[in-house]
Structure 1
Amino acid sequence: MDRVLSNLGLAKRSGKIISGTEMVIEGLRNNTIHLVFLASDTEKNTTKKITDKTTFYEVSLNKNYTSNDLSQAIGGKNVHVIGIMDRGFAKLLKE
């Protein structure tokens, strides 16, 4: 597992992430999300929705990992969208 995925797991254990399309969109609207991970194998409609929202709210978007990678990193199942709520973790994960 690479450094970013390991740090995603740490952020999850620290309670600094949310997952799920609607939860992440709500976080973007409330300005509580500082970085979004979108699985590269996410369906077209969800990809467009998340891409449009991150562009509108000027939040960085990472599409470098598959759903399986993200799911394993945070210990979930079928994870396609993750929002990072902590600026420090967002900065660490962008590097």
Structure 2
Amino acid sequence: MAEETQIYNWVGIATKAGKVLVGFRLLEAIQQQKISLVIIAKDMGGTQLKKITNKCNYYNIKFIFVVNSEYLSKAIGKINIKAIGIAEKQIANKILNCMN
């Protein structure tokens, strides 16, 4: 859980920097390849999960899973967020380093 806490801290920093995208803007940014990393909550519904992971695989964008949407939502200060995109490459790399 310690590495997930670090992930949420980096997500908070990315949010303050304006480098986090959610919802329809996330899907558009994936298609435009403006996203460096997608973070998906494990409790996301099957249809949306398939849509996002397929787009990430097609456009060669890395994605990771976190425990649940409650923590992810809290990290960016919104409610009921199941997936976010990090547009800043350096922050995305820091988050990926937390996973190792």
Give the TM-score, by structure 1 length.
Answer: 0.94
1:9 aligns with 2:9: no
- Tell me how large the CA RMSD over aligned residues is: 1.1
Matches within 5 A, 1:54-73: 54-73=56-75
How far does residue 19 in structure 1 lie from its aligned partner after superposition?
A: 1.1
- Percent identity for Structure 1 against Structure 2: 30
1:18 aligned to 16, 21, 29, which one? 21
User: Which is further off, 63-72 or 42-51?
Assistant: 63-72
Superposed CA offset, 1:42-86 (max 9, x none):
111000000100110111111123110100111110011100001
Structure 2 stretches of 5 or more lacking a match?
A: none
How far does residue 32 in structure 1 lie from its aligned partner after superposition?
A: 0.4
CA–CA distance in structure 2, aligned partners of residues 65 and 5 of structure 1: 11
Relative to its length, the structure with more helix (as a share) is: 2
For residue 10 of structure 1, what is the amino acid of its counterpart?
Answer: I
SS at match of 1:36: strand
Match of 2:44 in 1: 42
Give the TM-score, by structure 2 length.
Answer: 0.89
Runs of 4+ that moved beyond 3 A: none
SS at match of 1:18: strand
